[in-house]
Structure 1
Amino acid sequence: MTDEAKTSEPQATPGVSVTGPDDGEVIVLGTTRMRVLEDGSHTGHRLGMTESVLAPYTPGPPQHRHALHDEGFYIVSGTVRFTVGNEDYDASAGTLVMVPPGTPHTFTNPTGQPAVMLSTFTPALYVQYFRDLQSLAADGRPLTPRAGIQVMSRYATEPATDFA
Structure 2
Amino acid sequence: MSVSVCRAGGERWSVAGAEFRVLADGSAVEGRWGVVQCSIAAGWTGPPQHIHRQHDESFFILTGTVRFTSGREELLAPPGSLVTAPIGVPHSFANADSRTPASFLCTVTPERYLGYFREVAALLPGPDGQLDPAEVLALMSRYATEPYRPD
Q: Same fold (TM over 0.5)?
A: yes
Q: Deviations over 1:59-94 (max 9, x none)?
A: 111100001111000000100000011100000000
Query: Any gaps of 5 or more consecutive residues in structure 2?
Result: none
**Paired residues for 1:9-158 under 5 Å:** 15-20=2-7, 22-111=8-97, 112-137=99-124, 142-158=130-146
Q: CA RMSD in A?
A: 2.0
Q: How far has the Cα of 1:134 moved from its partner?
A: 1.1
Structure whose CA Rg is larger: 1
Query: Any gaps of 5 or more consecutive residues in structure 1?
Result: 1-13
Cα 1:138–1:145 change in 2 (3 A) is: closer
Q: Is the 8 A contact 1:69 1:123 kept in 2?
A: yes
In structure 2, what residue type is equivalent to 1:38?
A
In structure 1, what residue type is equivalent to 2:118?
R
Q: How far has the Cα of 1:31 moved from its partner?
A: 0.9
Q: Distance in 2 between matches of 1:110 and 1:78?
A: 8
Q: Percent of aligned pairs with the same residue?
A: 43
Q: Is the 8 A contact 1:74 1:118 kept in 2?
A: yes
Q: Distance in 2 between matches of 1:58 and 1:31?
A: 7
Q: Distance in 2 between matches of 1:149 and 1:39?
A: 24
- Per the normalisation by structure 1, the TM-score is 0.84
Cα 1:145–1:61 change in 2 (3 A) is: farther
Q: Distance in 2 between matches of 1:139 and 1:17?
A: 40
Q: How far has the Cα of 1:42 moved from its partner?
A: 1.7
Cα 1:123–1:91 change in 2 (3 A) is: same
Residues paired across the two proteins, number? 149
Q: Is the 8 A contact 1:62 1:145 kept in 2?
A: no
- Per the normalisation by structure 2, the TM-score is 0.91
In structure 2, what residue type is equivalent to 1:57?
G
